[in-house]
Amino acid sequence: MLLAIDIGNTRIKYAVFENNTIISSHFFLKEDFLKEIKIILNKYKNVSNLIVASVGNIEKEAFLVFKNRIKTHFITHKDKFPFVNLYETPHTLGIDRIVLASGATILYPNQNRLIIDAGTCVTYDFIDSNDNYFGGAISPGIRLRYEALHNYTVKLPLLTKKEPESFIGNSTSESIHSGVIEGLTNEINGFINQYSIKYENFIIILTGGDADFLAKRLKNTIFANSNFLLESLNTIYQYKIKND
C-alpha cells in the first residue's frame, strides 16, 4: 500500500492507495501533521511506502520520525519525469505543477493536455501530444481574491465563497461575489478559448480544492477530478519504480 501526501500552501491532503485504487483520502491542517500521519499509519498497517509532493514549508526532516516505519520518496526537480521540460526556468517550476504534468502525460498519452489546478492559486499547465511541457499561467485563487479585496481596501468586507445570485451584483456583498466568482470563471474560459485557437484538440483536466465548485460554471467539456494530484503522485511512484 502507498500513502501519497500533497503539502499545499494552506493544508495537507493525503490518499491511501491499494492496487492503484484510493481506499481513503482526506485533508488536515499543517499543525496536525505528525499526529495525523501517525493515525494513518496505525490504521493502515500495510502501508510500506510514502510519496510526498510539497510546496509548503514542511521540510524533509519532519518525516525522519517515520524512517523506521516507512520508506519515503520526495518529489524533487532532480527526478526523472515523463515529459520534456521546456520551461525557461525549470528549477523554479512548482513541484505540484510537475506532478500534475507528469500525471496528465502518463494517464492521457498522445494528447494535448491543459491542467487547471484551482487551489490557493490557479495554475494552468500545458503539455502537447509529443509530451513537451511548455508552462502556462499562475493567478490568485478564489480565497486569495476575497482576501485581497478585504486586505487592500478600507471598507470592503471579508466574505467566503458563495455562488453569486447574478452577474450584476445588487449590493456590495453580491458585487464582490460576482467579481470574484464570475471573474475567475471568465478567466478560465478565456484561457481555454486561447488554447483552443492554437490547438484544435486537447483535453482539459480541472483539479484542486475549488474544482467541483467551478466545474459546473465552465462552458467547455472538462475532466473534473479534485484528487488528480494525489492520483498523479501514485502514477509517478509507479513510474519511478519502472525507471529507477
Does residue 208 come out as left (phi exceeding 0), alpha (psi in the -120 to 50 range) or beta? Answer: left
Q: In this structure, is residue 239 part of a structural domain? A: no
Q: Which stretches of 19-126 are DSSP H helices? A: 33-43, 95-107
Report the range of poorest mean pLDDT among 23-32, 79-88, 135-144.
Answer: 23-32
Q: In this structure, is residue 38 part of a structural domain? A: yes
Res 209 pLDDT > 80: yes
Domain that residue 116 falls in = 84-228
Residues 65 and 126 in one domain: no
Q: In this structure, is residue 166 part of a structural domain? A: yes
Q: How many structural domains comprise the chain?
A: 2
Q: In this structure, is residue 79 part of a structural domain? A: no
> Residue 234's closest CA among 13, 8, 9, 10?
13
Q: In this structure, is residue 162 part of a structural domain? A: yes
Q: In this structure, is residue 238 part of a structural domain? A: no
Residues 217 and 166 in one domain: yes
Q: Which residues pair with 72 in a beta bridge?
A: 50
244 is a catalytic site residue: no
Select which of 96, 117, 131, 210 is catalytic. Answer: 96
Domain final residue, candidates 27, 49, 74: 74
> Residue 63's closest CA among 78, 79, 77, 51?
51
The model carries a pTM of 0.92
Cβ atoms of 208 and 139 within 8 Å: the answer is: no
User: Three-state DSSP class for 225?
Assistant: coil
Residues 69 and 176 in one domain: no
Residues 95 and 68 in one domain: no
Q: What is the pLDDT of residue 61?
A: 80
C-alpha to C-alpha distance for 121 and 100, rounded to whole angstroms? 14
Q: What is the pLDDT of residue 203?
A: 94
Residues 154 and 197 in one domain: yes
User: Three-state DSSP class for 140?
Assistant: strand
Residues 154 and 201 in one domain: yes
Q: In this structure, is residue 244 part of a structural domain? A: no
Residues 221 and 110 in one domain: yes
Residues 56 and 141 in one domain: no
Residues 68 and 102 in one domain: no
Residues 16 and 118 in one domain: no
Please report, for the domain that includes residue 31, its CATH number.
3.30.420.40
Strand spans (E) along 78-131: 84-85, 113-118, 121-127
The percentage of residues in the chain with a pLDDT greater than 70, rounded to a whole number, is 100
Helix axes 142-151 and 183-198, enclosed angle (nearest 10): 130
